[in-house]
Amino acid sequence: MAGTGLVTMPDTTGWHLIEIVSEGTEVDVRRANPWDHSWVRDGTRIRVAHPSYPEQRHLLDVYRINVDDRTITFAAGELSADVWAFFVPDDEFVQDEL
């Protein structure tokens, strides 16, 4: 996108789906609920296939939140009206945290 300052990537690998939820519904992203914190865009976007409809692609902004003494990176975006997807980088995904 010209002029936005955001970097758009082709279909992105390296990200793990955490959950799809209704807007405001609690979601566990590395032991934190993003809805309870201020999100800061990091200036990048990822393109992911919709988990249920893989022919659909969605651009999600990458965010950071500060929780206690740690920074959590995640991508999130609205897939349809009030339905949000949350992803974390593969290298930060820990199965035991789900």
Tell me, what's the pLDDT at 8? 46
pLDDT in the model for residue 2: 47
pTM over 0.95: no
Backbone angles phi, psi at 94, to 5 degrees: -125, 115
Question: What digits encode the pLDDT tens for the residues 11-54?
Answer: 567 898 999 999 999 999 999 999 999 999 999 999 998 888 88
- Calculate mean pLDDT across residues 64-81: 94
DSSP result, 15-84? EEEEEEEETT----SSSS-GGGS--EEEEEEEEEE-SS-TT-EEEEEEEEEEETTEEEEEEEEEEETTEE
